[in-house]
Chains A and B, each alone.
Chain A
C-alpha cells in the first residue's frame, strides 16, 4: 500500500508568475519522458522483476518518481496561480484554459495528453531495465533543456536536483542490469 507524507522531497518556493515556464514544465509531468510516466513505468515493471533486489529497486525508485510528479505539479501550480486570462492567452495557454482552467492535468509541453504508450512493460527484466536506462537519460536531457530556458533560481534549484536524481537512478538501474547479466 502507499502512504502520504505531507512534505515535498525538495522544497519549492516559486518566486514569480511565469506562464511560459509553466507550459514547458508540463513536459516533465505528462510528457513522454516525464515523471508520471516514470512512476507508472517502474511501479508496473516491478511485478516481473526476478529477485528481491529488482523488486526493491523498482518499487523504491517508482515511489520517488511519484514525489517528483508532486514537485513538478507544485511548480506549475505556483507559476500559473495568479495569472489573468489575458496572460494565459499570450503564453499560449488559452487552449489549456478552455479544457482545464488552472487545473493540473497531465499533458506535455505542447498540450498533448499523457498516454501509457509512453511506457513499456515487457515482462522481461533485461528488456525493461534497458528501457529504464533510456528513460532516465531522456529525462535528464529534458531537465537540461528546461534549465537552459530559465534564469529563475527558484525553478533552477529544484530542476537541478531532479536532473541529478535521473543520474543516480540511471546508475542504480545499470548496476541491477549488470548484476542480472552476470548471473
Chain B
C-alpha cells in the first residue's frame, strides 16, 4: 500500500484537490473576514492543517480599522492572483473592483486619522509624518 490509512499527508492531498481545479468554474468565495482568517478566499482550495483554525481579534479602534484594511488588502491580493491565471473571469473582476473601492475608502479614513500607510499619502505641511512610529514590526503591548 502506498499510503497508511491514517497518513495525514495523504488526507492533505485529498483536501487540496489540485486536479479538480476547473478553469472556468464560477468560484465560491468565503467572506472577506473568514478568508483572511484562513489565509484563503477560495473555498475549493482551502486545506486545514490538523485542527488549526484561528480568528483575529483586536481591541482598539485604530487596530480595528487597520484590520479592516488588511482584510480587504488580502481579499484584493487573493483575487489578483486568481485573475492572473483567469483574466477572463468577469464576475471575479467585478468583485475585485468592488473591493478596490472599499479599500480606498478605508485607507482614506485611516490615513486621515492615524497617518500615512504609504509615501504618497503623506499630507502635512509641518511634520514629515511618514517616519512616525509605530512601524509594522514595533511591538504593541
Contacts and interface: CB of A to CB of B under 8 A. Distances in A.
A176 interface: yes
B77 interface: yes
B2 interface: no
A162 interface: yes
Indicate the size class of the contact surface on chain B. Answer: 35 or more
Contact of A9 (B37, B38, B73): B73
Contacts of A126: none
Given A5-B117, A5-B118, A168-B78, A73 B84 contact: no
Interface residues of A, number: 45
Contacts of B1: none
Given A64-B77, A78-B137, A161-B39, A167 B47 contact: yes
Contacts of A3: 118-119
Most chain A CB neighbours (cut-off 10 Å) among B36, B80, B139: B139
Contacts of A7: 66, 69-70, 73, 117, 136
B128 interface: no
B52 A8 contact: no
A152 to B, nearest CB: 12
B81 A14 contact: no
A143 to B, nearest CB: 8
Contacts of A77: 137
Nearest to A61: B81
Interface string B34-73: 0011111010011101101110101000010011011001
A61 B81 CA distance: 7
